[in-house]
Amino acid sequence: MSQQPTDEAPDPSAWSADARWALAMADAAVVLLDPEGEPLHENSAARRIARRLAGGSEDPVEAARPSIHPAGEAARQLLALVPDGGWDTACDEGRWRGRVTVGDPEVVLEIKLYCDLGAEPPKRMAVFGDVTAGAKREDALRRAKKKLAGTHEQLLQAEKMASIGQLAAGVAHEINNPIGYVHSNLGTLQEYTSALFGLIDAYAEAMEDEDPVRHRESLAATRQQLDIDFIAGDLPPLLKESREGIERVTRIVRDLKDFSHVERDAPMRPADLQQGLESTLNIVWNDLKYKARIEKHFTPMPLVECHRSEINQVLMNLLINAGQAIDDQGTIVIATGSGDGEAWISITDSGSGMPKEVIERIFDPFYTTKPVGHGTGLGLAICYGIIAKHNGRIEVSSTLGVGSTFRVVLPVTQPRAQAPGEA
Ligand SMILES: Nc1ncnc2c1ncn2[C@@H]1O[C@H](COP(=O)(O)OP(=O)(O)OP(=O)(O)O)[C@@H](O)[C@H]1O
Ligand SMILES: [Mg+2]
């Protein structure tokens, strides 16, 4: 039926037979009201819905002969469901629309109110539709989507942790190395300290003598014997090296923490991708350093709005793949740049390269050419998902026997974050 107010008075007897028939047959419950909001008429659907809400069954007479009735209990019952403010909005703006959930079992009703107080005569109408099935479907869909997002997040996290697991030995080595020399430096420091205290004691003893100057020569001999000049020269670089070692460990631990961070619900934030590259390199360093010379061609790039740890995960997968593609010794060139509202990072290896049939499948989940136990084939599928989520793209070029380039391109600002009116 038409939901627009007509120019006729809301008195069914004055309407055309077609209008009466349409209103009587409508599936939606319709209640017509006077300008003050008093119900005048209700159709059969209104009675049907009201009976159902009250727990009653279908009226067989009503079902057989749908019609329009003077407003009664059904109209009042349905109008009572209109939330506060609904009619105010409808009379201000011409219409109002909302949903209410009522009864047990629950019924979801969509309510549409129409009002035109300026018309001659003024008009008001309320339409109620049972949208329970649709609402349930929407609800199920929302729940399924939420579950899917959760599963996807778990997959991302599992892949990330698996990659870190794969790298654990290397990371442990990277941490062990500085810890090893800091430990040995501490041993040396201990020796130096006892030598220094030895000298201090010798000085203190001399000072207790009435004529300390008398001890000048023996003190000089002690100083030489304790190698104090050597210690004085060796101490500063020893401390500097130890400090750097500790800083390196701190950095690796921080990078690892950064990496395992979950950001699903957090908004994307502007991040320095070059810094991300550096910290990712720190984590994969042990796996690359014996195989590849790393060349960095960084040109300044703006901060990029992203989930930082996810982009690091992409970079890590690409760097690991690049390293794995190199059999013996090779080069990995990492370049960055930006332009036209986009920022990019490319990773080029001088590894095996890929034939066309492989390139076509590399983003498929579980596609791997690596021996069983060496690759899950999820790395690039995960990268693809992450970059797609960031509204970016991954470009691949490869020549068999020469090497491959993976280029990640990201918008500097995410589209939804743009101010209205901005292109
Ligand atoms: N830089 C590269 N050079 C050559 N081949 C590559 C390169 N990167 C990816 N590939 C090919 O793409 C396939 C899929 O890569 P992907 O990272 O998805 O899985 P994987 O590395 O095999 O396993 P995983 O990453 O789960 O350990 C690889 O098995 C390899 O054949
Ligand atoms: Mg991989």
Look up the CATH number of domain 12-130. Answer: 3.30.450
Residue whose Cα lies nearest atom 25 of ligand 1: it is 379
Q: Which long-range contacts link 48-54 to residues 24+ away (Cβ below 8 Å)?
A: 49/74, 49/78, 49/109, 49/128, 49/130, 50/74, 50/77, 50/78, 52/103, 52/107, 53/77, 53/102, 53/103, 53/107
Q: Give the domain 267-423 fold.
A: Heat Shock Protein 90 (3.30.565)
The per-residue pLDDT for 10 is 57
For residue 338, the CA-to-ligand 2 centroid distance in Å is: 26
Model pLDDT for residues 352-403, shown as the tens digit of each residue: 999 999 999 999 988 999 988 778 888 898 899 899 999 999 999 999 999 9
pLDDT band per the 50, 70, 90 thresholds, residue 3: very low
The per-residue pLDDT for 346 is 98
The per-residue pLDDT for 282 is 86
State whether the beta carbon of 404 lies less than 6 angstroms from ligand 1: yes
Model pLDDT for residues 230-282, shown as the tens digit of each residue: 999 999 999 999 999 998 888 888 877 777 777 767 889 999 999 999 989 98
State whether the beta carbon of 350 lies less than 6 angstroms from ligand 1: no
Return the best residue to mutate from 368, 369, 404, 405 for the ligand 1 pocket (most ligand atoms within 8 A of CB).
368
Ligand nearest to the CA of 368: 1
Return the best residue to mutate from 321, 366, 400 for the ligand 1 pocket (most ligand atoms within 8 A of CB).
321
Q: Closest ligand 1 atom, CA of 374? A: 27
State whether the beta carbon of 379 lies less than 6 angstroms from ligand 1: yes
Return the best residue to mutate from 288, 363, 370 for the ligand 1 pocket (most ligand atoms within 8 A of CB).
370
Query: Which ranges in the chain are annotated with CATH 1.10.287?
Result: 154-262
Cα–Cα distance for residue pair 278/316, rounded to 1 Å: 11
**Residues for the chain: how many in total?**
423
For residue 255, the CA-to-ligand 1 centroid distance in Å is: 24
For residue 378, the CA-to-ligand 2 centroid distance in Å is: 7
DSSP strand pairing (292-298 vs 330-339) = parallel
Could you tell me which of 405, 365, 412, 407 has the C-alpha nearest to residue 390?
A: 412
Q: Measured between alpha carbons, how far is residue 208 from residues 10, 196, 333 in Å? A: 119, 19, 67
Instruction: Judge: domain 154-262, CATH 1.10.10.
Output: no
* Cβ < 5 A residues, ion ligand 2: 321, 379
Model pLDDT for residues 187-203, shown as the tens digit of each residue: 999 999 999 999 999 99
For residue 337, the CA-to-ligand 2 centroid distance in Å is: 24
DSSP strand pairing (342-349 vs 330-339) = antiparallel
Model pLDDT for residues 285-328, shown as the tens digit of each residue: 888 988 999 999 999 999 999 999 889 989 999 999 999 999 99
State whether the beta carbon of 226 lies less than 6 angstroms from ligand 1: no
Query: Which ranges in the chain are annotated with CATH 3.30.565.10?
Result: 267-423
Query: Which ranges in the chain are annotated with CATH 3.30.450?
Result: 12-130
For residue 256, the CA-to-ligand 1 centroid distance in Å is: 22
Structure token digits, residue 9: 């008075």
